[in-house]
Amino acid sequence: MVTAQSEVASQYNVIGTRPIRHDGVDKVTGAAQYGADLQLPGMLYGRVLRSPHAHARIVSIDTSKAAALEGVKSVITNADFPRASDDVIDTGEGSAQLNWLLDNVIASDKALYKGHAIAAVAAVDHHIAEDAIELIEVEYELLPPVLDVRDAMLDTAPKLHDGLKTGEMDGSKSDGDSNTASHLRFAKGDMEAGFADADVVIEREFVTSMAHQGYIEPHNGTAYWRADGTLDVWTSTQGSFVVRDSVAPLVQLSPSQVKVTPMEIGGGFGGKIPVYLEPLAAILSRNTGRPVQLTMNREEVLLATGPTSGTYMRVKMGAKRDGTLTAGEVYLAFEAGAYPGSPVGAGAMCALAPYDIPNQVIDGYDVVVNKPKTAAYRAPGAPQAEFATEAVINELAEQLQIDPLELRLQNAAVEGASRADGFTYGVIGNVECMQAAQDSSHWNSELAGPNQGRGVAQGFWFNIGFESSAYAQVNGDGTVPLVLGSTDIGGTRASIAMQLAETLGISAEEVRPHVVDTNSVGYTQVTGGSRTTFAGGWAAYECAMDIRRQMAERAAQIWEVDAAEVEYGDDAVIRGPADDEGNERSFGFKELAGQLAASGGHIVGRADVNKTSSGPAFATHIVDVEVDPDTGKVDVLRYTAVQDAGTAIHPAYVEGQMQGGAAQGIGMALNEEYYYDESGDLKNASLLDYRMPTALDLPMIEPIIVEVPNPGHPYGVRGVGEVPIIPPAPAIQAAIADAVGLRMNELPISPRAILEATLPEEG
């Protein structure tokens, strides 16, 4: 691992170092409070009845027996909620239409996937709540399930939603009902000319399975509808403000009447942005006057929260003999799950993003199927789309007999290049990542044996900015409590605090970051989109600059000089003009902090930033695998992840993100899949059969951090969390091809899939 200070970090005191995270001790000792740890006086326990069917009309629900059970305090269905409008709310890494959001939280007329919530109870303990849901009688009229995205797009397919039309980018809609909720197209250049210019054209089809984020902490939600009509919510979420703004309209309160306290969060990866249990807990609490807590078990998490889309994709690319890419045509059909809103748009923008290809058409389709409503999952949409395009790039490299990294370098997008969606890049580290991969010891090593192979792939992700706020006060002893609204999944208390410390010229330990509720900090968008260290750090920088200005003013007041003559240095020394005797006047940060109370009061800094810009992220991954041809098993032997972090604020956490993203991408590549039977029953809703890689399935993932500072950020930050999930699948696919000559264009590339592709017909 990189331990030496990087060139970029050498200009800084705190940035680029590896202090112990502020929340570390609580987490390793178990003191940290996660959602299900919360205990409130008089609290009731809730449980959800879920649909056993993938597609069914709900004819009737009889809750009377459950309600009569001793210890049951309330039983609710969709009818207990106010009617929701079709208004759309912003959820940070996506959006939600309120009536669909409500119907996903608790079904109205139809159950649209196995596990869809039908009713909920609150009881004095878990066991009674479990008994009670078994007493709820539901009559279903079964409908044929629509499980595959291609089937769903057929005119003849059963329709999930009455009145759902296909929306086009120009605002027009299809005449008839459709399971295709929207179609988008990005295009530039002249496709005919592009393919005519090509010496080699490759066209391939790809299929990927739904895959779950696999965070270890299940969803939870606790609510207390207070006697004064306000609502308190506690939940493990990636965005407390998004929870507030989602729950309030569903229970007909204004956001100002709802206070959301984010609990510690045991992983989210995008999946903990939507609300599931919180609105149910709210209505159950309103009905009972007592706090109500709901938690999911693992089966419910897999059945009824938001995995990423399964897809059908087609890619056609052309290249000249010398390797110049001339045209790229991409077709993406993404499963949205039960309600519209797959990440196909992001997938479409990412598909060819690492390359400068003059002629491109990218079509995307958002399609509803009888599976859970998808949610954001780490670089939503990109791992699928870039799996397809990177696989074709690798195959082109092979056909053209050009080194796959050379081919990429030759066509790499650089500053000034623009994508089909019109975005033009500023300073990016695309080429730098490819070059660092070429220079790596891994790329320059030899494979050691038979059935081994090497693959490489590139990844691109936008990263986002948006709104973050920060408050900080200066204590008399010079420590600085920092108040944040970003829930901390990947070490962001530390990475934001470090940027405040850097700006003030104090140590990371002297800053004390706290994540607080929605009434105690300014609006802050979700922890998602790789935005938190970027935007939260920017808010911390502005907040620190506010403190610097006030500290300088205070020194001026104490010295009785003009504030313009006082300067707050980056070394945290506040210097004024020499006094009448010609003596230098200065305060250390601590020294001045100690005089604040007596000289007029304490100082509070604050900032709210809202950045539409961001710093795009690129990554290059190299993988060696060994395939057992007898069993179809793929072992990952060696893995190197190269990534442009802009500036690595806390390199250990950047490496952790790179390794974690690679681990999840390896999971999607090799074994993770939503395995349905024909009736739409998810057969592997447990972590036994939903096969995420374990520690024994992964080699050490070697991180190589590249730093091409983002000129659009005070400290050069780009987001780092998402891009590393993108290259693993295409890199592994290529490595398998290199090892045994088999190009697997369907994910996951499980042992079963490899054997099914290689075994002779039964005999």
Q: Contact positions toward other proteins, by CB under 8 A?
A: 127, 130-131, 630-633, 670-671, 675, 683-684, 687-689, 691, 693-694, 696-697, 750-752, 755-756, 759, 762
DSSP secondary structure, 189-235, as one string: S-HHHHHHH-SEEEEEEEEE--B----SSPPEEEEEE-TTS-EEEEE
Cβ distance to other proteins smaller for residue 523 or 675: 675
Least distance CB 288 / other proteins (angstroms):
24
Least distance CB 696 / other proteins (angstroms):
4
Least distance CB 743 / other proteins (angstroms):
20
Cβ distance to other proteins smaller for residue 37 or 697: 697
Cβ distance to other proteins smaller for residue 648 or 753: 753
Count of all residues that appear for the chain in the document: 763
Distance of CA 757 to the CA centre of its chain: 33
Name the residue type at position 672: E
Name which of 407, 372, 392 is nearest 331 in CA terms. Answer: 392
From the CB of residue 405, how many other CB atoms can be counted at a distance below 10 Å? Answer: 19
At CA 300, angle to CA 108 and CA 243, rounded to 5? 65
Q: Quick one: CA dihedral 621, 622, 626, 629, positive or negative?
A: positive
Least distance CB 763 / other proteins (angstroms):
10
Cβ distance to other proteins smaller for residue 169 or 759: 759
| Conformational region of residue 270, where left means phi above 0, alpha means psi within -120 to 50, and beta covers everything else | left
- Round to whole Å and give the CA distance between 94 and 99: 16
Cβ distance to other proteins smaller for residue 30 or 229: 30
Residue pair 73/230 in contact by the 8 Å Cβ criterion:
no
Q: Quick one: CA dihedral 17, 19, 23, 24, positive or negative?
A: positive
Cβ distance to other proteins smaller for residue 143 or 692: 692
Cβ distance to other proteins smaller for residue 209 or 261: 209
Buried/exposed code over 241-253 (b: 16+ C-beta within 10 A; e: otherwise): bbbbbbbbbbbeb
Strand bridging mode 311-319 / 200-208: antiparallel
Least distance CB 673 / other proteins (angstroms):
9
Least distance CB 694 / other proteins (angstroms):
5
How far is residue 64 from each of residues 126, 384, 474, measured CA to CA in Å? 19, 46, 58
Least distance CB 215 / other proteins (angstroms):
17
From the CB of residue 743, how many other CB atoms can be counted at a distance below 10 Å? Answer: 15
Least distance CB 297 / other proteins (angstroms):
9
- Round to whole Å and give the CA distance between 290 and 509: 40
Cβ distance to other proteins smaller for residue 588 or 751: 751
DSSP secondary structure, 676-724, as one string: B-TTS-BTT-STTTS----GGG---EEEEEE----TTSTT-----SSGG
Least distance CB 614 / other proteins (angstroms):
36
How far is residue 304 from each of residues 105, 250, 429, measured CA to CA in Å? 9, 19, 38
Least distance CB 67 / other proteins (angstroms):
20
Least distance CB 343 / other proteins (angstroms):
26
How far is residue 326 from each of residues 197, 352, 354, 359, 575, measured CA to CA in Å? 7, 12, 14, 6, 60
- Round to whole Å and give the CA distance between 293 and 301: 16
Cβ distance to other proteins smaller for residue 598 or 688: 688
Cβ distance to other proteins smaller for residue 594 or 629: 629
Q: Is 83 helix (H, G, I), strand (E, B) or coil?
A: coil
Buried/exposed code over 7-30 (b: 16+ C-beta within 10 A; e: otherwise): ebbeebbbbbbebebbbeeeeeee
- Round to whole Å and give the CA distance between 462 and 456: 21
Cβ distance to other proteins smaller for residue 499 or 671: 671
Using alpha carbons only, how large is the chain's radius of gyration in Å?
27
Least distance CB 209 / other proteins (angstroms):
12
Cβ distance to other proteins smaller for residue 105 or 685: 685
How far is residue 500 from each of residues 170, 504, 507, 552, measured CA to CA in Å? 44, 6, 9, 17
DSSP secondary structure, 501-564, as one string: HHHHT--GGGEEEEE--TTSS-----S-TT-IIIIIHHHHHHHHHHHHHHHHHHHHHHHTS-GG
Structure-token match 């791992």, residue found: 383
Cβ distance to other proteins smaller for residue 164 or 662: 662
Cβ distance to other proteins smaller for residue 50 or 419: 50
CB neighbour class for 683 (10 Å; exposed up to 12, middle 13-18, buried from 19): exposed
Least distance CB 691 / other proteins (angstroms):
6
Least distance CB 284 / other proteins (angstroms):
22
Cβ distance to other proteins smaller for residue 169 or 700: 700
- Round to whole Å and give the CA distance between 11 and 22: 24
Least distance CB 752 / other proteins (angstroms):
5
Cβ distance to other proteins smaller for residue 623 or 720: 623
Cβ distance to other proteins smaller for residue 202 or 755: 755
Least distance CB 57 / other proteins (angstroms):
27
DSSP secondary structure, 349-388, as one string: HHTTTTB--SEEEEEEEEEE-SSPPP---SSTTHHHHHHH
Least distance CB 695 / other proteins (angstroms):
8
Q: Write phi, then psi, for 621 (nearest 5 degrees).
A: -120, 145
